[in-house]
Chain A
Amino acid sequence: MKHTIIAAGLSVFAGAAFAQAPVLTVYTYDSFVSEWGPGPAIEEAFEATCGCDLQFVGAGDGAALLARVRLEGERSEADVVLGLDTNLTAAARDTGLFAPHGLTPEGLTLPVAWDDAEFLPFDWGYFAFVHRAGLEDVPNSFAALAASDISIVIQDPRSSTPGLGLLMWVAAAHGEGAAAIWEGLADNIVTVTPGWSEAYGLFLEGEADMVLSYTTSPAYHLIAEEDAGFAAAGFDEGHYMQVEVAGMLAGTDQPELARDFLRFMLDEGFQSVIPTTNWMYPAALPAEALPEGFETLLTPARPILLSPEEAAAVRDEALATWQAALSR
């Protein structure tokens, strides 16, 4: 409603054709919509074909995004929510606010099979500990990291999606042994931050040898800063994946447009923007289409990903294990 008013207001400046355009509202996380994120390029590409006005609304991070939608309930202005990950989709599905997308995605390049009636992936990455190239005795497993005196910064699983991802990584790779891993890691952890930004900032300031981030983080330094001095440590037990997804809301007043957007999300116009703006792997772009520099990145031998249902089922216990081990 308000968006049509704004659109009408804008049309005074932008010409009459614009006033008729339907509005598609996409809720997403903050860094997606910033001018150095994927948002602006994607908006331009989609609006060139849809005859609509695409409006991104930024709402914190992935978890905050879900909270926002739940807070607004069925009266949400949002047509599409973009930026949840698979650790959150079970909770999102349980709200009953999301509608089946009805699409059969083709050409997905995820290292795992995808079958989800409500959510489609748009990008993905592997969690990894990132370090400077000069670091000696880079650990090759959680056990080796725990045994070393290498310092790390991680994120709190109660306030950030990477923190939650690390929890899932340890839980999925070590099951019953997760508590022992966390107890071993306790003296390596310099500190725990509320979110990714703080942790990465501390790492860059030299407060720790390694930081929980993504295997794609060194690509930023390599491509945007022309600095080859960063690398990700490969762990033998495999690397947990973060798959970022989008879904359309059942209460949307633009179901066709929302579906068009989800379809467009897997097209090249969207996918090719992802690697050097979101610094993740696109979900439907072959490896040869990735920008130069991505071939230097670590490719984990074993991708690990819990299904949304498994992730939701183990979350509370994993959190309790984490809290108990690090509170000693």
Chain B
Amino acid sequence: MASRAQPLSGLHKTGAVFAALVTLAVLGPLAAVMARADWPLALGPADLAAIRFTLVQAALSALLSVVLAIPVARALARRDFAGRRMLVTLMGAPFLLPVIVAVLGLLAVFGRAGWINAALMGIGLGRIDVYGLQGVVLAHVFLNLPLAVRLILQGWQDIPSERVRLAIALGFSGADMHRHFERPLLRAVLPGAGLLIFLICTTSFAVALILGGGPRATTVELAIYQAFRFDFDLGRAAALGLVQVAICLGAGALAFGAIRGRELGTGLDRPPLAWPGDGQGARARDALAITLAALFLLLPLLAVALKGLPALAGMPLSVWQAALRSVVLALASAGLAVALALPIALFVARLRRPGMVEGLAFLTIAVSSLVIGTGMFVLIRPWGDPVALALPVTGLVNALVALPFLLRALVPAALAAEGGQGRLAEALGMSGMARLRHAILPRLARPLGFGAGLAAAFSMGDLGVITLFSSPGQGTLPLEMYRLMGAYRTDDAQGAAVLLMALTLALFWLFDRGGRLDAIAR
């Protein structure tokens, strides 16, 4: 570990300031909404039912996503095959899509009129029902499994290959590998990944409603939406917003309690080697895990693509304009997210208790983006025209939303870099930018690329804040897609969905790839 006695550099101070600003940017709007509220507040039985449903479905979704992701990530970490990278990128797509696109893709496969039911009916078997709690969990696993795989995969790839080589030299068995490498790795990665997915699922609204089947599937986020949109009860909205923050803090406290320090050591970034204990059985299991995950994640995407491709050529000009606007917004959003996340991650890596600051970043997931958006609206209104600022505000909120993902990926890497290279850099008397450029950044390139890709992709698919501020000529691609659906133009909407999927993936791929170019010397 790096010496803690060193004074903070300028960059670390910037990180501290950014961390404070981010907290302010999230809690400020919440406070602004609360200030407009009518007090006192009370939660009814329906709210309690919503809280219960939210917790149950989010816990189930997070658990299943993470558990199913382990064999897939393990297989992807140890097998090299043609098209592997393409597959990893493609499999990430569900997480990046607007909910309605993902849901329609899922229904094309699992729905009442979907492929599986058609096959089941064809051979005379009954129908599977995708609606209800199982539907919500299915969709959340579909959306979040890719994220879980990527986060866990990241952990696997952080194992220095020198260690693996040493293990081979020492004649480790598969069980030894598991005990000395995989278990510590999973203990370090799983709680954070699980927490992240749990939080994402707590803010679910459209998925829970469409696939939940009705009022039983009410989430806190829907209750917030209703309080805002139909009752205009800012007090209730703020109270429910606080409930969500409380859920987040509770889950965060649990998860961080479970996170153990990582002492995996450091290496020289050599390519990974085949692991010991890698027999035929292991190969077959890995192949099965990858095939099943690919089918589960790619078939719905294929369905979306098949439906939308024919409409692509005939789409109105406004869709292409919206696409351009979305791409620019996504790039800005990714840039902002990286600019915020990098100093914060480096600052966090220097702290004795990194969980504290990272935990604050998780707030940006827990506080409903509807609350943040409305709060920003309230805050901006006295000073300027919120509608004129629609795109900048959307970019900012999207960057904030992406921040936890970036930190999740960056902080462990920054810790490792500080731990491994910091000592050497200090011994060489490197400081400031030189230290950052030579010792730290190369180790962060991969998570940075991944995080920036996520931020860009999120921004592409976002449909939250923009609807609150939008005006004609500022529509993003997802909004335009909804407008097409609202005007019965389902075919064009499906075309827009394919375009959205393609652009989102392309952006993610570019960033992710860019991050790997430097880091891997294959």
Contacts and interface: CB of A to CB of B under 8 A. Distances in A.
B209 A194 contact: yes
B215 A66 contact: no
Nearest to A208: B112
A327 B226 CA distance: 17
A204 interface: yes
B479 A323 contact: no
B211 A191 contact: yes
B215 A36 contact: no
A196 B211 CA distance: 15
Contacts of A35: 316, 318
Given A30-B479, A39-B472, A194-B209, A2 B112 contact: no
A158 B483 CA distance: 20
A71 B374 contact: yes
Contacts of B471: 56-58
B112 A197 contact: no
Interface string B475-495: 100011011111111100100
A36 B314 CA distance: 14
A158 B377 CA distance: 22
A207 B490 contact: no
A34, A151, A200 interface centre (most CB from chain B within 10 Å): A34
Contact of B107 (A58, A70, A207, A322): A207
B116 interface: no
Given A58-B471, A64-B467, A200-B485, A190 B112 contact: yes
Given A201-B100, A205-B111, A323-B215, A192 B388 contact: no
A40 to B, nearest CB: 9
B489 A191 contact: no
Interface string A125-163: 000000000000000000000000001000010110000
Interface string A164-192: 10000000000000000000001001111
B381 A72 contact: yes
Nearest to A199: B210
Report the contact-size class of chain A (Cβ under 8 Å from the partner). Answer: 35 or more
A325 to B, nearest CB: 9
Contact of A36 (B100, B103, B388, B489): B489
B216 interface: yes
Interface string B188-206: 0000000000000000011
B138 to A, nearest CB: 13
B232 A158 contact: no
A77 B480 CA distance: 24
B113 to A, nearest CB: 3
A196 B232 contact: no
A70 B230 CA distance: 11
A192 B468 contact: no
B293 interface: no
Interface in A301-328: 322-323, 326-327
Contact of A159 (B111, B229, B318): B229
B131 interface: yes
B173 to A, nearest CB: 50
A30 B112 contact: no
A58 B483 CA distance: 11
A82 to B, nearest CB: 13
Interface of A: 1-2, 30-31, 33-37, 39, 56-60, 63-64, 66-68, 70-72, 75, 77, 91, 151, 156, 158-159, 164, 186, 189-194, 196-198, 200-202, 204-208, 217, 220-221, 224, 279, 322-323, 326-327
13 contacts: A2-B388, A36-B489, A156-B209, A158-B222, A159-B226, A190-B112, A190-B131, A191-B210, A192-B215, A201-B493, A206-B111, A208-B112, A220-B488
Given A198-B206, A202-B107, A326-B215, 5 more contacts: A57-B471, A158-B225, A192-B210, A192-B213, A194-B209
